[in-house]
């Protein structure tokens, strides 16, 4: 009878170890490779922003979001949750990485998101850089004359 109890307890311990290992492995595998999840999570965080395009990093830990009005956003896997960040115009610094397939980005409003982001190809990295550049574009200065300046140059 005692050996049966020990075998059952041993089986229960093995079962719980297996379940704990699978849960830990699944937590490590969680990423943003699923664009549907990214759309849903970013939509929850910013319900009034229309997503135009998504671009995931090579490791799937971050997705850059291009919004309808040339704004940009970022969604990152932060171990136990996903963090969504709307990038304000002029509040980000971007430098190309050494590999040419990535960007080193400094977020002035959210330094916790700073880092190097590697993409699958240089084309994807340049596309995200263009989104962020488009985010720099400000409203034209309304006080500047909109007339033809070539006529003034002739005088």
Instruction: Note the pLDDT tens digit of each residue in 64-86.
Output: 999 988 889 999 887 777 889 99
Question: In degrees, to the nearest 5, what angle opens at C-alpha 70 toward C-alphas 68 and 75?
Answer: 80
Instruction: Note the pLDDT tens digit of each residue in 8-45.
Output: 888 898 888 888 777 766 555 555 566 787 788 899 99
Alpha-carbon distance 58 to 30, whole Å? Answer: 14
CATH code reported for the domain at 35-136: 2.30.29.30
Question: Which pLDDT band, with edges at 50, 70 and 90, does 143 fall under?
Answer: low
**CA nearest to 60, candidates 82, 88, 91:** 82
**CA nearest to 43, candidates 15, 68, 79, 78:** 68
Average pLDDT over residues 55-60: 90
Alpha-carbon distance 90 to 74, whole Å? Answer: 15
The residue ranges of every structural domain in the chain are: 1-30, 35-136
Q: Is 23 exposed, middle or buried (0-12, 13-18, 19+ CB in 10 A)?
A: exposed
**CA nearest to 87, candidates 47, 32, 48, 135:** 135
Q: Quick one: CA dihedral 16, 22, 23, 28, positive or negative?
A: positive
Instruction: Note the pLDDT tens digit of each residue in 97-121.
Output: 888 899 999 988 888 889 999 999 9
| pTM higher than 0.85 | no
Q: What pLDDT does residue 24 have?
A: 66
Residue 131 has pLDDT above 50, yes or no: yes
């Amino acid at each position: 009878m005692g050996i049966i109890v020990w075998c059952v307890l041993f089986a229960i311990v093995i079962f719980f170890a297996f379940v704990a290992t699978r849960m830990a492995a699944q937590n490590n595998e969680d990423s943003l490779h699923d664009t549907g999840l990214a759309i849903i999570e970013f939509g929850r965080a910013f319900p009034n922003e229309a997503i135009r395009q998504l671009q995931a990093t090579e490791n799937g830990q971050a997705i850059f979001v291009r919004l309808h009005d040339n704004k940009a956003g970022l969604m990152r896997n932060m171990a136990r949750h996903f963090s969504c960040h709307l990038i304000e115009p002029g509040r980000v610094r971007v430098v190309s990485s050494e590999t040419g397939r990535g960007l080193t980005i400094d977020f002035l409003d959210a330094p916790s998101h700073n880092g190097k982001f590697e993409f699958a190809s240089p084309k994807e990295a340049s596309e995200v850089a263009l989104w962020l550049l488009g985010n720099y574009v400000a409203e034209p200065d309304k006080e500047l004359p909109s007339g033809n300046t070539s006529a003034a140059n002739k005088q």
